[in-house]
Amino acid sequence: MVILDGLPDRPVNGRTPLTVARKPNLDKIAEMGINGIMDTIAPGIRPGSDTSHLALLGYDPKKYYTGRGAIEALGVGIDLNPGDLAFRANFATVKGNGSIFDKVVVDRRAGRIEETEELVKALNEIDLPVDFEVAKATGHRAVVVFRGNFSTNVSDTDPKTVGSKVKRCEGDKEIAEIVNEFMQKAHEVLEKHWINEEREKRGLPRANALLLRGAGVMKEVPSFEERYGLSLKVISATALIKGVGRFVKGEIFTPPNATGNKKTDIGAKIKAALDSLKSSDVVLLHIKAFDELGHDRDFEGKVGFIEKFDSYASKLLELDFSKNCLIVTSDHSTPVKVGDHTADPVIVSILHEDVRRDDVKTFNEFEAPKGGLCRIRGADLLNIALDLLNLVEKFGA
């Protein structure tokens, strides 16, 4: 299962990055397989990467989703106890006078800062009335976990828009007050940190605030192997996706030089995925950069990365399709015109020697709807593949 995160787009002057890019291998995958479009959650629902990946693995997110913070915490290797409250966080740039809550967000990603290890170390020295932990995640992201027995009835501090003030955490008073105290102290630590002094000298935005969102707690769920009788391996460098894998008790592997951004070693990730088929029944290969380029509204960058990925994708066509089923799809759309996730259905192509091949010969948003799969939901996908491999039991007599 190859997940091209945020790949599909909306047309800009009648074109999408997929219609512009030269991508002979993706087109070959479409030509050899059966194609369609897919609502990873449901029509009209904008999926998060966490909820959509749960759905693609056959887990109803309405039943099993615990909040993004908990899954991201698992992804960075933090073990959560019942009652621990985890937030996903962004290093961000804020400006203005007064407390952190008087200041305005000018960059929600602090120039997409990546070298945050020293900042994280300093944040973990903050004095709070409860135990807590800050951990680095992918790129400009982090995880903050408050240890205790807390309610998830708390709001985000991330306003999610540039030009807005940082929000106070509201809801359950016990934890909300602690979160707000952490927000202020974190800002004070980051504002005077030597890394930010150096960044300012180099003309880079200061990473002088943490914006928290997606509060969640750990929830026990049946493992992937318990549900399907099959082993799962996740190949990803993105903390959130690794967290989804840990959440369903799959095996996680991050190849050397896999970064979760456009600098990632695509060849190493594809090789790791193909090698994993020797020991794992289901392999999920996650490629992130399409999503980040969509968030950055970078049309040409997205075109370039599609072509870069395609240059390695010929290896996927070397699979024995009498024994293996290949799915190439996405978790959601991230159109450059919008700069965020949308509910537009994603493209899906399935290859196996027994598929009813259709007439689609091009992998893009306009051709996929003409395919034989028609329109499906994310929860259907794994069952379709397992049926092609004769791994599902008959329903009824």
Any idea which of 65-69, 235-239, 282-286, 385-389 has the lowest mean pLDDT? 65-69
Q: How far apart are the first and last CA of the chain?
A: 31
Asked if residue 384 has pLDDT above 90, the reply is: yes
Does residue 397 have a pLDDT over 90? no
Percent of the chain with pLDDT strictly greater than 90 = 93
Task: Look up tokens 């992804």; give the residue.
Answer: 75
At residue 104, the 3 state secondary structure works out as: strand
C-alpha separations of 16 from 20, 263, 282 in Å: 6, 22, 31
Domain 2-66+221-388 in CATH 3.30.365.10:
no
Task: State the residue for tokens 């039991």.
Answer: 393
Taking only the tens place, the pLDDT of each residue in 151-209 is 999 999 999 999 999 999 999 999 999 999 999 999 999 999 999 999 999 999 999 99
pTM of the model: 0.85
Supply the pLDDT for residue 38.
98
Q: What is the mean pLDDT of residues 58-84?
A: 91
Q: Which residues of 375-395 are buried (b: 16+ CB within 10 A; e: fewer)?
A: ebebbbbbebbbebeebeeee
Out of 253-257, 258-262, 362-366, least confident range? 258-262
The confidence score (pLDDT) of residue 220 equals: 84
DSSP 371: S
Q: What is the 3-state secondary structure (H, E, C) of 18-44?
A: HHHCCCHHHHHHHHHCEEEEEECCCCC
Sorted by where each begins, the domain ranges of the chain are: 2-66+221-388, 75-216
Whether 270 and 261 have beta carbons less than 8 Å apart is answered as no
Report whether 41 contacts 376 (CB < 8 A). no
**At 161, which amino acid appears?**
T
Q: How far apart are CA 50 and CA 135, in angstroms?
A: 19
257 falls in which pLDDT band (50, 70, 90)?
Answer: very high
What backbone torsions phi and psi does residue 49 show, to the nearest 5 degrees?
-65, -30
Backbone angles phi, psi at 88, to 5 degrees: -80, 145
Residue 282 DSSP class? E
**Could you report the per-residue pLDDT of 36-64, keeping only the tens digit for each?**
999 999 999 999 999 999 999 999 999 99
Euclidean distance between CA atoms 209 and 186, whole angstroms: 7
Percent of the chain with pLDDT over 70: 100
The type of residue at 50 is D
Closest CA to 28 of 363, 303, 285, 252: 363
* 104-159 tens-digit pLDDT: 999 999 999 989 999 999 999 999 999 999 999 988 999 999 999 999 999 999 99
Which residue in 1, 15, 38 sits closest to 343, CA to CA?
Answer: 38
List pLDDT tens digits, range 3-36.
999 999 999 999 999 999 999 999 999 999 999 9
| pLDDT of residue 68 exceeding 90 | no
pLDDT at 15: 97
Task: Give the single-character DSSP code of 314.
Answer: G
Half-sphere exposure of 368 (CA within 13 A, CB side): 26
Cα–Cα distance measured from residue 290 to residue 346, given in angstroms and rounded to the nearest whole number: 13
